[in-house]
């Protein structure tokens, strides 16, 4: 008799394939890295980020924040180090910030943290040769959600955290979202994901729909938002593709440039040719919107 194995929602997140990148084959002499840089402190907790940048050239270079996934409760910035080097080899300063996890720290702690990382990047633009006017964000799953929040929210939305009056902006100028949720109040959130959303919010959406709305990128979409590119699989067990379609409708209604690409049959991540193609499209998207045309 076979024993049925049941996975908790958190275990399912950890066992699902997201994105596995091949070993980087670039020239290490053209990339400078700095790991575990402190970008913010919350009480006794130091928040750190990893950074990679071109070794050659005077810049300033456009920048990209690469945000890991893990249902807002797990994951590690270290997993993005290969991707940071890829961006640096293509002429970007790239960072990957660690952020606080739920259920110990609930929303909006994670949004506060990634915004603090972008402000740190602007505050240190001279040292790292960053073009502070051209910063993007890319993220995966929960990191995709946080990347969207960087793109669609501003100071007027009350999600900046405690900052000084002269703090630099946390807004980004382009976003790439890999299968991140867009509407936490929606009825299409699958049963397996509902405990994850509850842990992130600290409450269920039906108990506090206002909190779920404030944590949803869809709430904040306006015509002033930066270009957004989203990739989403039709067989994702955690984030239904209808979440991406809602985002596509919202962006279309207000005229925000970009697109939503639906990968038929893909789950919560993909590999092989689809992986290469979507990353090639990601680099091209950032090149279009973050690298100013030379006169």
Span between the terminal Cα atoms of the chain, in Å: 72
Take residue 80 and report the two structure tokens written for it.
Answer: 């993005």
Is 202 a member of any domain?
yes
In a domain, 47, yes or no: yes
Confidence band of 43 (pLDDT split at 50, 70, 90): confident
Number of domains forming the structure of the chain: 1
Radius of gyration of the chain (CA): 18
For residue 201, the enclosing domain spans 27-156+166-290
pLDDT tens digits for range 151-184 = 999 999 999 999 998 999 999 999 999 999 999 9
Helix axes 109-123, 142-152, angle to 10 degrees: 60
Contact between residue 165 and residue 93 where contact means Cβ atoms under 8 Å apart: no
| Tens digits of residue pLDDT in 118-134 | 999 999 999 999 999 99
- The verdict on residue 143 lying in a domain is yes
Q: Residue 9: which pLDDT band, with cuts at 50, 70 and 90?
A: low
| Domain annotation covers residue 205 | yes
pLDDT in the model for residue 292: 84
Task: Give the pairing of strands 45-54 and 93-97.
Answer: antiparallel
Task: Please report whether residue 259 resides in a domain.
Answer: yes
**What is the spatial distance between Cα 160 and Cα 78, in angstroms, rounded to a whole number?**
25
User: Is residue 21 included in any domain, yes or no?
Assistant: no
pLDDT-derived band at 26 (thresholds 50, 70, 90) equals: low
What whole-number percentage of the chain has pLDDT above 90? 87
Instruction: Indicate the pLDDT class of residue 190, thresholds 50, 70 and 90.
Output: very high
What's residue 6's pLDDT? 45
Residue 87 lies in a domain: yes
- For residue range 70-127, list pLDDT tens digits in order: 999 999 999 999 999 999 999 999 999 999 999 999 999 999 999 999 999 999 999 9
CATH number of the structural domain spanning residue 32: 3.40.50.1820
- In the structure encoding, which two tokens stand for residue 239, read together? 């984030």
Whether 103 maps to a domain, the answer reads: yes
């Amino acid at each position: 008799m076979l024993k049925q194995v049941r996975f908790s929602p958190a275990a399912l997140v950890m066992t699902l394939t997201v994105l596995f990148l091949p070993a980087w084959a670039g020239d290490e002499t053209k990339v400078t890295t700095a790991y575990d840089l402190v970008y913010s402190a919350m009480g006794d907790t130091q928040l750190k980020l990893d950074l990679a940048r071109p070794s050659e050239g005077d810049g300033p270079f456009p920048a990209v924040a690469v945000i890991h996934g893990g249902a807002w409760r797990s994951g590690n910035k270290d997993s993005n180090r290969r991707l940071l080097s890829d961006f640096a080899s293509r002429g970007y300063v790239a960072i990957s910030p660690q952020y606080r996890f739920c259920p110990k720290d609930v929303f909006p702690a994670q949004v506060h943290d990634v915004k603090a990382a972008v402000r740190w990047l602007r505050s240190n633009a001279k040292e790292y040769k960053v073009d502070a006017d051209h910063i993007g964000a890319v993220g995966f799953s929960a990191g995709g959600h946080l990347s969207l929040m960087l793109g669609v929210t501003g100071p007027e939305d009350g999600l900046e955290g405690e900052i000084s009056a002269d703090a630099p902006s946390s807004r980004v100028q382009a976003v790439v979202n890999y299968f991140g949720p867009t509407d936490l109040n929606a009825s299409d959130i699958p049963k397996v994901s509902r405990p994850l959303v509850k842990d992130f919010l600290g409450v269920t959406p039906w108990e506090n729909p206002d909190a779920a709305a404030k944590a949803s990128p869809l709430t904040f979409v306006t015509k002033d938002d930066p270009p957004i590119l989203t990739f989403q699989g039709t067989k994702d067990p955690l984030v239904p593709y209808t979440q991406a379609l809602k985002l596509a409708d919202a962006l279309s209604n207000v005229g925000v440039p970009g697109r939503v690409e639906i990968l038929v049959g893909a789950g919560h991540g993909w590999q092989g040719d689809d992986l290469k193609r979507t990353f090639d499209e990601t680099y091209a998207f950032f090149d279009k919107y973050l690298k100013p045309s030379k006169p």
